[in-house]
Structure 1
Amino acid sequence: MKDLLKGYPVITEIPVAWGEMDALNHVNNVVYFRYLETARIEYFREVALMEEIQHTGIGPVLGETSCRYKLPVTYPDTLYVGSRVSELKEDRFTMEYEIVSKKLGAVTTSGKAKVVMFNFKTNQKANLLPSLVEAIESIESRVSAEQVTVE
């Protein structure tokens, strides 16, 4: 199962809840954005980004997000969400996600997010701190250069 997420250094396990299904008997499309948020926060935890806010006042804000639905997910199931940073810029970075269903044994959803750094003390955009860049590069180096995407 997790072989489908080769190339994603952070994998978050999420159980599907009965209440996440809609009238069409599959997980509602808006719920996937919560799954991606959960994976994003897990990645942030891995790079100590949330702790950094306490010291510097600089933290992430979501600038843009998207989701591509490939297969419907139903209860009961367990999902594995792979997350990685695919692009670093001076004041932002791009994250990519793949969601794999344990029950289906396949990628069900792909997503992307642009995360902008923001100084909450001055209410202005901020640059990525060197310590964050170093932490992201360290996590990303855990995976091979070969990125596997299931189409």
Structure 2
Amino acid sequence: MRFTYHCALRWSDLDAYGHVNNARFLTLYEEARVAMMFVGAREAGVTSFEEGIVVSRHEVDYLRPVDYGDPVRIELWIEDLKPSRFTVCYELFDGDLLASRARSVLVPYDLERQRPRRMSEAEQSFLKPWLST
């Protein structure tokens, strides 16, 4: 199962060539991830992600330029789920065209103690339906 997020593009997302800047792709992916893990999780009764998640790795493939226009569609899912980390995969579509693929490794983090933590059972249960098989 995939989580789908529609994200409006902003003028500030564009580079000198009129395309979405490569660094802005990470911002778009972040917006989709926040919608799933904070908004979606909160609706499911899980608020602990808001207490700390850090990115330990990003990997992005740029497949085609994206021009300013209609909102882009981002689909995301969980590729790997372990108690100490998980991997979120993304695909960004411009209309029906796949424009980028990415993945982020995320680590649950205890902001108060400034160290990684284990995921709770509730967090793992929330993520499991998005796990690809």
TM class by shorter chain equals 0.7 to 0.9
Identical-pair percentage? 19
d(CA) in 1 for partners of 2:49 and 2:79?
22
C-alpha contact (below 8 Å) 1:16/1:74 kept by paired residues: no
> Is residue 140 from structure 1 mapped to residue 130 from structure 2 by the alignment?
yes
> Is residue 128 from structure 1 mapped to residue 119 from structure 2 by the alignment?
yes
Give structure 1 regions of 4+ aligned residues with deviation exceeding 4 angstroms.
Answer: none
| Deviation (angstroms), 1:52 | 1.6
- Structure 1 stretches lacking a partner, 5+ long: 1-6, 146-151
Which residue number in structure 2 is paired with residue 67 of structure 1?
60
Q: Deviations over 1:23-71 (max 9, x none)?
A: 11211111101001001101102223972257xx5x2111111211001
Q: Deviations over 1:90-115 (max 9, x none)?
A: 2110000000112xx21100010000
Structure of larger gyration radius: 1
Which residue number in structure 1 is paired with residue 47 of structure 2?
51
> Is residue 14 from structure 1 mapped to residue 16 from structure 2 by the alignment?
no
Q: Could you state the TM-score of these two structures normalised by the residue count of structure 1?
A: 0.78
What is the 5 A alignment of 1:7-46? 7-8=1-2, 10-45=3-38, 46=40
Partner SS for 2:26? helix
Which residue number in structure 1 is paired with residue 110 of structure 2?
119
- Structure 2 stretches lacking a partner, 5+ long: none
